[in-house]
Amino acid sequence: MSYFCNPIFIAKTMTTRKLRFAIFGNIYQAKKSASIQKVLSFLSERKAQVFIDREFYLFLTEDLHIDVKADGVFANDDFNVDYVISMGGDGTFLKAASRVGEKGYPIVGINMGRLGFLADVGPAEIEQSLSAIYRNDYKVEEHSVMMVETEGEDQLEGCPYALNDIAVLKRDNASMISIRTCIDGDHLVTYQADGLIVSTPTGSTAYSLSNGGPIIAPHSGVMCLTPVAPHSLNVRPIVLPEDAVVKVSVESRSHNFLVAVDGRSEKCSEETSLVIRKAPFRVRIIKRHCQKYFHTLREKMMWGADTR
């Protein structure tokens, strides 16, 4: 079996050829780009080819006035590299993952934000983590991705793929929405709620968790449906196989609703149904051997901590 199909691939051989890197970054907060010079200096010493997302490049050069030496600047998904570097928080990582999409390039997340559950390489660990790539002394975790399709009046304009979650949400502040939900063609329930979150195991520690959803370990092969502020206490999150097909239809007093794909929101009319299913590819995330999921869970989220 090839490493691309395995949940975790461990590389150990030495890399000698010139590597190519694509860099994405946070363009809203200057402090979240403070380590870019450290990254560029490291890659320059190893004669790597560096390509930078156009928005990030303009932010660095025009807003921060940083002298950035790169081999190229790209937009959209017009890049061909060996590795992707995300510099920012988990939001930046999700955007980078959506741009990588089916290309399958492994991503390393350098954390410039607060929590950094996906982007878990701290500023002090940059050289250590990039050195591990050159030594091929790392593991690649493959995380499942979901996709959403529309049936009816509207078509989504943005990226349909989500590493974390796809949420159906009300647009107005006055009333909840009705969300008729079917699983593989069978009616599950009609939620009376502010919304419904369909999350991957990766996204179980994000929006779903804040609404009472369970923590799901990576590579569990499941998805989770978590209602947002349900009207009935009898409605609880439910875990389904990852190959289940979820179809939702919405009724709302405003006759429209929001669909949020990893936080990227678009408006839909209630004449539009959504079909959510597993995507045909996975997102590949680079991890050092010392990085363990349950250790990160305890450290980042203080899971199981005794606060007495």
Q: What are phi and psi of 54, to 5 degrees?
A: -55, -45
Contact 139, 290 (CB under 8 A): no
Integer Cα distance of 97 and 236 in angstroms: 30
Q: Which helix (H) or strand (E) holds 82?
A: none
Is residue 90 among the annotated active site residues? Answer: yes
Query: What Rg, from alpha-carbon coordinates, does the chain have?
Result: 20
Integer Cα distance of 251 and 233 in angstroms: 20
**Which DSSP symbol is given to 130?**
H
Integer Cα distance of 86 and 96 in angstroms: 6
**Which DSSP symbol is given to 192?**
E
How many other CB atoms are found less than 10 A from the CB of residue 191?
24
Q: What angle in degrees, to the nearest 10, is found between the helix axes of 126-134 and 36-45? A: 30
Angle at 120 between CA 52 and CA 200, to 5 degrees: 95
Integer Cα distance of 26 and 131 in angstroms: 23
Active-site entry in 53, 78, 90, 172:
90
Integer Cα distance of 184 and 187 in angstroms: 9
Contact 15, 133 (CB under 8 A): yes
Active-site annotation, residues? 90
